[in-house]
Amino acid sequence: MEEALLAWFRTNGRDLPWRRTRDPYAILVSEVMLQQTQVARVIPRYLAWLARWPSVEALAAESPADVIREWQGLGYNRRALNLHRAACRIAADGWPEDLTELPGVGRYTANAVARFALDRPVLPIDVNVRRVLDRSEASFGPAAAHALMDLGATICLARIPRCGECPLASACPSRGKRYEPLRKQGRFEGSFRQRRAVALNLVSERPRRRSSLDEDAVAALAADGLVQVRSGLVSLPD
């Protein structure tokens, strides 16, 4: 099955900017941005980020406030702080052998950097890869990582897979099956996430009096380290 998958990938694989580099920093940036954010939204932000901060050292030298401002619009802003903290750690001490020691880096992200930057023989398993593995009941090696991701993202879709276009269909025990709709994330409009985003956007423009902001949103942002409160004034972290 792996040979058929790799043949399909050579013709149908996505041309993504982070696939054109082996720089572990650039790949770490892409993987953190891709957490809970669609590829199409990430591409321009990834390119802009690397144009501004092309190295770990450049990012580590930046202030957390400017990192948060640059991240605006990608959502889940704690990722920006974790990426900055990881850069500071790497700039000071080098890349750890176990990448999960870096702030905000879990097993999947560590394996992705290890595979795509350091050529280690590990298979990063994200939600798309897991879906293909579960449905095909097949085993694949690390060389198939990008191909599995693309198959899951474009063909082996969550609810209605496109089995007629799948290179694994002839041997797949799940061929032709449809699946129940996945549980969708709650609407952003009117949610507490939106309230947090509004408060953070206001503070990103300039420091604000705490009394003028959503108190619960400010408390949550402060708990995450995304804002600081001093003498009743809310600002981005120094």
31 is catalytic: yes
The distance in angstroms from the start CA to the end CA of the chain is 52
Q: 3-state DSSP call for residue 10?
A: helix
Write the DSSP symbol of residue 55. S
The whole-angstrom separation of Cα 163 and Cα 118 is 33
Q: Which two tokens stand for residue 92?
A: 């000071």
Q: What are phi and psi of 153, to 5 degrees?
A: -80, -25
Nearest 5°: the CA angle 226, 82, 128 is 120
Out of 2, 31, 57, 101, the active site residue is 31
Asked whether 24 and 113 are in contact (CB, 8 A), the reply is: yes
The catalytic site residues sit at: 31
